[in-house]
Amino acid sequence: MNREIKFRAWDKDNKSYIVEPCAIFGDTVMVQRGSTLIEVQNAVPIQYIGLKDKNGREIYEGDIIKGTKYGKPIQLVVKWAHGFEGDSWPIAGYYFEIDENDDFNTIPELTWSEIIGNIYQHPELLQK
């Protein structure tokens, strides 16, 4: 199975997505200006997770998604985890955070709805 690897970047200073083609090197975001790559200071690389919402929109890390869990409406934040779970289980991948005490990472139990925003442009959606 092939998975598309895509990124976009959020410019914290200008509070907007970088619309120019960019290159991501770890946590460094570079844009091409002429024949020169220039580092964008204070930018956040954001990766596509390989899934789309019910409207066909690509889901990226940091997106806020409205869906249901066990028939109840929920709001999810797409996050990236890497490291170790407990003492020995290495983990790496995306998961869906409902709140600080309830991580949700089993897709078959989730009835997808739609992207309603992201943590960068719509932080007010995270307030309960």
Number of folded domains that form the chain: 1
> Within a domain: residue 2?
no
Instruction: Please give the model's pTM, rounded to 2 decimal places.
Output: 0.78
Q: Which residue range forms the structural domain that includes residue 27?
A: 7-126
Sites in the chain below the pLDDT cut of 70 = 1, 82-92, 99-112, 128
Contact 29, 45 (CB under 8 A): yes
Question: How many CB atoms neighbour CB 126 within 10 A?
Answer: 12
> Within a domain: residue 111?
yes
Q: What are phi and psi of 96, to 5 degrees?
A: -115, 115
> Within a domain: residue 1?
no
Residue 64 has what pLDDT? 92
Model confidence over 24-50: pLDDT tens digits?
Answer: 888 899 998 888 889 999 999 998 888
Locus of tokens 């992207």: 115
